């Protein structure tokens, strides 16, 4: 090693690197040229650069006797990572003080110590620059350390320019920015907190450093999904950092949207399987009865079995239609909004209701009701869903009333029942997909939780709106308003 760092040679060679950049070169060729210029100036046997992402690092460039390491992964649990995540930005260590496999292989090739400098971009570590030496004598050369730190800053600047770097990332340091990254000590206190961690948790580095993690720490190598007090979900992983001190590297990301999608999927499967099972079981039972006992059944029994099969098949068809409608954004009817006779549409829709609902329904339509603007055909679906919902939550012999009315801007109708009613805090949640009321035994109130969700979608696609409210004296009022035609 020279007695001092050869700054003159470094400046000369660095000038050639800058010329490469000015001529349009970028990425690995420039980085490799910079390492080749650095090695003799630093008096190192070899120089290597490790690019880091939250899951670990990888050697992407090297010069001298370390070129064989190019492409070599450096897991987050490797002891050499301690040099990157802890301590001063530039530090020196003996390779025999590190227990990782890569350190052992370097030692076998006659290398004894290294100086390492972190390449940081806006406080985020994007990589580390390593100068390796064959001698045992630790260097006290401040210029040498400062030079390595300067070169690491130059490399970080290259990452900031997004000129062919990162090599193993997706976009400008996305691999490093995507996840929150923390290092905690044996007491569980934070020693490193990257900008992404602050963004994910809303807790700045100043608020996090030297304090316990604001969420549970899973065992090393395991994954934990944790819900924060504000309702968001984090997916947390951790790994041991073996070396001086007992440290853990922790990565975490916001998976709230994924958690919601998974929850919706699970709920969809549970609800649909439950709703499909009953009519399918009934249809199969009556079909088997007809097949196995046709000769012994009376004409009345056969007709009754056929009627039940038809009713249950209609229920299945309606459920499938609701599921398909809830999964598409197509406007009902594919027709533009036009003026139509709301009173006539309601009277026609009543005829399509199941017989048990028709018997309970009382329709009140004023003779001078003005026309509404919207899609007449969709009124059948809207009225069916609202009346079915009213019938489900009220006694079997209780009346269901439909009142039509108008004001200066809208034409409306409301469906009222005398059932269990709706809590004020549920009048909006009831329109959520798959949401079901909590009153009584749910097995006594079947449904997929799609009816009101579809009603709101259909009505709002016609520039109208729908609302729920408790009825004075008990029960629920569902009101639909459409623009006047």
Reported as a single tens digit per residue, the pLDDT across 452-464 is 887 888 888 888 8
Distance in angstroms (rounded) separating the CA atoms of residues 26 and 20: 8
For 44-69, the pLDDT digits (tens) are 899 999 888 666 778 888 898 888 88
Phi, psi of 190 (to 5 degrees): -75, 130
Residues 6+ apart with CB under 8 A from 94: 112, 113, 136, 138
pLDDT at 169 over 60: no
**CB–CB of 57/176 below 8 Å?**
no
Distance in angstroms (rounded) separating the CA atoms of residues 293 and 288: 8
pLDDT at 412 over 90: yes
Q: Compute CA 481 distance to the chain's CA centroid, rounded to the nearest angstrom.
A: 35
Bigger pLDDT: 46 vs 183: 46
pTM, entire model? 0.41
Taken in order 285, 286, 288, 294, the sign of the CA dihedral is: positive
pLDDT at 170 over 50: no
Question: Is 191 in a helix, a strand, or coil?
Answer: strand
What kind and span of H or E run contains 142?
Answer: helix 142-161
Phi, psi of 359 (to 5 degrees): -65, -30
């Amino acid at each position: 090693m020279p007695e001092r760092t050869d700054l003159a040679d470094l400046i000369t060679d660095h000038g050639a690197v800058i010329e490469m950049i000015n001529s349009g070169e970028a990425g690995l060729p420039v980085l490799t040229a910079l390492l080749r210029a650095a090695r003799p100036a630093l008096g190192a046997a070899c120089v290597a650069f490790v690019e880091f992402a939250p899951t670990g690092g990888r050697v992407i460039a090297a010069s001298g006797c370390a070129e064989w390491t190019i492409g070599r992964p450096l897991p987050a649990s490797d002891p050499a990572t301690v040099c990157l995540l802890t301590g001063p930005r530039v530090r020196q260590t003996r390779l025999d003080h590190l227990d990782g496999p890569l350190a052992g292989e370097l030692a076998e090739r006659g290398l004894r110590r290294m100086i390492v400098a972190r390449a940081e971009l806006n406080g985020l570590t994007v990589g580390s620059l390593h100068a390796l030496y064959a001698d045992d004598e630790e260097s006290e050369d401040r210029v040498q350390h400062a030079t390595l730190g300067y070169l690491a800053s130059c490399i970080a600047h290259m990452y900031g320019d997004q000129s062919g770097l990162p090599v193993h990332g997706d976009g400008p340091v996305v691999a490093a920015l995507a996840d929150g990254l923390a290092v905690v000590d044996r007491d569980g206190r934070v020693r490193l907190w990257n900008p992404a961690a602050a963004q994910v948790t809303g807790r700045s580095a100043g608020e996090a450093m030297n304090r316990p993690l604001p969420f549970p720490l899973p065992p090393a190598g395991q994954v934990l999904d944790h819900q924060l007090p504000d309702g968001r979900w984090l997916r947390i992983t951790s790994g041991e950092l073996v070396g001086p001190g007992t440290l853990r590297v922790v990565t975490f990301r916001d998976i709230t949207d994924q958690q919601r999608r998974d929850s919706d999927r699970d709920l969809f499967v549970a609800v649909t399987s439950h709703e499909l099972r009953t009519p399918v079981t009934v249809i199969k039972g009556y079909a088997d009865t007809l097949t196995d006992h046709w000769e012994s059944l009376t004409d009345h029994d056969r007709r009754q079995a056929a009627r039940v099969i038809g009713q249950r098949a209609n229920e299945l068809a309606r459920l499938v239609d609701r599921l398909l409608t809830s999964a598409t954004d197509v406007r009902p009817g594919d027709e533009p909004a036009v003026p139509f006779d709301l009173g006539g549409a309601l009277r026609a829709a009543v005829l399509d209701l199941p017989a048990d609902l028709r018997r309970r329904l009382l329709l009140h339509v004023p003779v001078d009701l003005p026309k509404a603007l919207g899609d007449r055909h969709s009124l059948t679906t809207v009225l069916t869903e609202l009346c079915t919902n009213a019938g489900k939550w009220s006694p079997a012999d209780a009346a269901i009333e439909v009142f039509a009315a108008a004001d200066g801007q809208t034409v409306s109708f409301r469906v009222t029942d005398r059932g269990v009613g709706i809590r004020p805090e549920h009048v909006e949640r009831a329109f959520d997909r798959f949401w079901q009321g909590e009153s009584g035994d749910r097995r006594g109130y079947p449904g997929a939780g799609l009816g009101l969700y579809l009603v709101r979608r259909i009505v709002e696609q016609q520039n109208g709106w729908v609302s729920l409210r408790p009825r004075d004296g008990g029960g629920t009022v569902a009101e639909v308003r459409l623009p006047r035609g």
